[in-house]
Amino acid sequence: MKLFDVYSLYDIEPVSGKGNYVYTADGTEYLDLYGGHAVISVGHAHPHYVKAVSEQVGKLGFYSNSVENSLQERFAEKLGKASGYEDYSLFLCNSGAEANENAIKLASFHSGKAKVLAFGKAFHGRTSGAVAATDNPKIVAPFNRTENVEFVPLNDIESVKAKLSTGEFCAVLVEGIQGVAGIHCPTDEFLQELREVTTKYGVSLILDEIQSGYGRTGDFFAHQHAGIRPDIITSAKGIANGFPMGAVLIAPHFEAKKGMLGTTFGGNHLACAAGIAVLEIFEQENLVANAREVGDYLLAELRKIPQLKEVRGRGLMIGMEIEGSASEMRLQLLKEHHIFTGGAGVSTVRLLPALTITRSEADKFLAALKTLLNK
């Protein structure tokens, strides 16, 4: 059997990792500033993380959601305290797309309405409902197309008001920062007005924090910079440092009913052990503050480079708009300087490093970038 050929791959195979570096079989070292799409939050093979997952798999790796699992309760308690959402409820699943599916479903159950308002260039996942709310026709199959999702431009509050005034919508779905689109930020003012207008019309505000959350921007969730509290928050990516896990944080006014949501693997013992370990490392190493400090430094230094057309982002979620091909720049960084970065569109290079990145590692990247830009 062959693999279904849907991925464009670099001809490099990391076989091990430590901290913010990965290594090929011949021992070549690469600085990882992408973390496998923002998944690696506490660095590769962190000793505390390895110990926690190893010990749990030696006890009990899995049992379904038909029995009590105190690890779920421990994780929920720690996540509530870390995020400032102790009064919310938690539903655990396996991925960001699945988290968004359940968030939309919950909002529709709650209101009895079907329509979702999303934003231009949005990316919310590749499963049925999530991809319908994703503004990329290339990945939306005929089966996924629906009149139940409409799009308006990001940061255009008047267009939002016009849509919600129809009374047809159960939810507004917005990313804390648009990641796949190329690191485009909703303004704080827009998010504040969005909270006001969704409350006015009784529409659930869903914040997709799958890429932008979990400390990456210097607050636990990106929307917290705007001082708002959504009705539903979705999370994944860095939540378990590579172990498949997703989460839906749900405001107190939603009523849980047996069987309304469900999953086989979600919140399993290994996932919870991984998730608890990540939050313990966050606390022990003050990683959210580090993301803010190193991120602010990187953003400030990048904005001093005249060859960059634009630098966008917050904390350690950064997009650099360059002249020419981002894919070519990324390849040069990888091949000539042994640095992994990400892309978004034709001309945006993305940085999504682990929250453990140091200033010296940031300087290593800045030096390599300047070398390439000054060629």
Considering the chain, what percentage of its residues have pLDDT values greater than 70?
A: 100
C-alpha to C-alpha distance for 334 and 303, rounded to whole angstroms: 22
C-alpha to C-alpha distance for 291 and 114, rounded to whole angstroms: 38
In this structure, which amino acid lies at residue 333?
A: L
Q: Report the CATH number at residue 272.
A: 3.40.640.10
pLDDT at 147 over 90: yes
Last residue of a domain, one of 225, 260, 285: 285
Per-residue HEC secondary structure of the chain comes to CCCCCCCCCCCCCEEEEEECEEEECCCCEEEECCHHHHCCCCCECCHHHHHHHHHHHCCCCCCCCCCCCHHHHHHHHHHHHHHCCCCCEEEEECCHHHHHHHHHHHHHHHHCCCEEEEECCCCCCCCHHHHHCCCCHHHCCHHHCCCCEEEECCCCHHHHHHHHCCCCEEEEEEECCECCCCCECCCHHHHHHHHHHHHHHCCEEEEECCCCCCCCCCCCCHHHHHCCCCCEEEECHHHHCCCCCEEEEECCCCCCCCCCCCCCCCCCHHHHHHHHHHHHHHHHHCHHHHHHHHHHHHHHHHCCCCCCCEEEEECCEEEEECCCCHHHHHHHHHHHHCEECEEECCCEEEECCCCCCCHHHHHHHHHHHHHHHCC
C-alpha to C-alpha distance for 169 and 133, rounded to whole angstroms: 13
> Are 79 and 195 members of one domain?
yes
Average pLDDT over residues 145-174: 98
From the list 268, 280, 276, 274, the residue with the least C-alpha distance to 93 is 268
Q: Count Cα atoms within 13 angstroms, Cβ side, for 259.
A: 0
pLDDT at 214 over 90: yes
354, part of any domain: yes
Last residue of a domain, one of 285, 319, 345: 285
pLDDT band at 375; cut points 50, 70, 90 = confident
pLDDT band at 357; cut points 50, 70, 90 = very high
> Are 54 and 123 members of one domain?
yes
Q: Report the CATH number at residue 367.
A: 3.90.1150.10
The chain-wide mean pLDDT, for the chain, equals 97
> Are 109 and 246 members of one domain?
yes
Last residue of a domain, one of 285, 313, 328: 285
Q: How many domains does the chain have?
A: 2
C-alpha to C-alpha distance for 338 and 352, rounded to whole angstroms: 16
Phi and psi based region of residue 107 (left: phi greater than 0; alpha: psi -120 to 50; beta: remaining): alpha
Give ∠ CA 191-175-133 in degrees, rounded to 5. Answer: 115
Residue pair 295/321 in contact by the 8 Å Cβ criterion: no
7, part of any domain: no
235, part of any domain: yes
> Are 148 and 243 members of one domain?
yes
> Are 271 and 314 members of one domain?
no
Q: Give me the residue label for tokens 């970065």.
A: 341
pLDDT band at 356; cut points 50, 70, 90 = very high
> Are 42 and 56 members of one domain?
no
> Are 218 and 203 members of one domain?
yes
User: 254-299: per-residue pLDDT in tens?
Assistant: 999 999 999 999 999 999 999 999 999 999 999 999 999 999 999 9
8, part of any domain: no
C-alpha to C-alpha distance for 19 and 261, rounded to whole angstroms: 37
6, part of any domain: no
Residue pair 227/143 in contact by the 8 Å Cβ criterion: no
161, part of any domain: yes
73, part of any domain: yes
Residue 354 phi, psi (nearest 5): -60, 155
> Are 333 and 265 members of one domain?
no
C-alpha to C-alpha distance for 181 and 14, rounded to whole angstroms: 27
Residue pair 357/25 in contact by the 8 Å Cβ criterion: no
Distances from the Cα of 136 to the Cα of 125, 133, 139, 338, angstroms: 11, 9, 6, 31
What's the pLDDT score for residue 345? Answer: 86
Average pLDDT over residues 1-28: 97
Q: What is the pTM of this model?
A: 0.98
Segments forming the whole domain that contains residue 346: 14-46+286-373
5, part of any domain: no
